[in-house]
Amino acid sequence: MPGVKVSVLLPAAGSGERIGRGPKAFLEVGGKTLLDWALEGFAWADELVVALPPGRNLDVPGIKTVWGGKTRQQSVFNLVQAATGEVVLVHDVARPFVVRAAVERLLDAVRGSGAATLAVPVPDTLVQEASGEYGAVIPREHYRLVQTPQGFRRELLWNAHQKALAEGLEFTDDAQLVRWQGYPVALVEGDRRMFKITYPEDLLLAEGLAQVWSSSPRPR
């Protein structure tokens, strides 16, 4: 976004419980930690701020760090507080493959509306689980899977975080928090390669993608 300072905020303080191999940000895929993938993917940013789990340090010149909190929201609160950009992009390090074209689409939307997130269509049939049985089918064309990065004018996100803290409310992402404040959040077409590593088998997919990611020409 020419002329506008962009801070990229990386919450990296999760414990990675569902994978069970220590803090997820420090798991390796294709010979690099998930945090390193994210730092490389956003190397163009005017400012990078990382929220670290207790006891971890990051000695990378030019990168700001803050301590993470008990929840993702608390980690992002600390990140927004430390950020100086007019626009902030919040990105989970659990999504190592940063597709530049999708990020550009997001930045365009943030420039227009002040708040936007990447999202992708639901590929599978979506159904309610009713006591172990196949319940009502939900029309998947009306739903989206929300990705990161999510982009906001920093003031907008900061105000929303302060209000959520004051009211003791916790949200799983920042778009929810901003929307809760009555501010519309644009949905921007994401990219399925920006999937989130959550379960052990996701690491296998990530290893496969890591192999083609570094090959030339770059798949993004």
Give contact residues for ligand C5P (rule: CB under 6 A). 11-14, 24-25, 51, 68-72, 75, 92-94, 198
Shortest CB 111 distance to ligand C5P, Å: 25
Residue 191 has a CB neighbour count (10 Å cut-off) of 19
User: Reduced to 3 states, what is the DSSP secondary structure of residue 95?
Assistant: coil
Q: In this complex, which beta carbon is closest to ligand C5P, that of residue 94 or of residue 107?
A: 94
Shortest CB 27 distance to ligand C5P, Å: 10
Pair of tokens at residue 150: 């999510």
Q: In this complex, which beta carbon is closest to ligand C5P, that of residue 65 or of residue 191?
A: 65
Of the candidates 84, 106, 85, 95, which has an alpha carbon nearest to the alpha carbon of residue 11? Answer: 95
Shortest CB 181 distance to ligand C5P, Å: 21
Q: How far apart are CA 81 and CA 14, in angstroms?
A: 19
Shortest CB 14 distance to ligand C5P, Å: 3
Q: How far apart are CA 137 and CA 127, in angstroms?
A: 4
To which residue do tokens 């999504």 refer? 95
Q: In this complex, which beta carbon is closest to ligand C5P, that of residue 1 or of residue 120?
A: 120
How many Å is the Cα radius of gyration of the chain? Answer: 17
Check whether the bond before 217 is cis (ω within 30° of 0).
yes
Q: Minimal CB distance to ligand C5P: which residue?
A: 14
Q: In this complex, which beta carbon is closest to ligand C5P, that of residue 75 or of residue 116?
A: 75
Q: How far apart are CA 105 and CA 117, in angstroms?
A: 10
Number of alpha helices (DSSP H) and beta strands (DSSP E) in the chain: 6, 11
Shortest CB 159 distance to ligand C5P, Å: 21
Shortest CB 177 distance to ligand C5P, Å: 14
Q: Where are the alpha helices (DSSP H) in the chain?
A: 34-41, 72-82, 100-113, 154-167, 174-180, 200-213
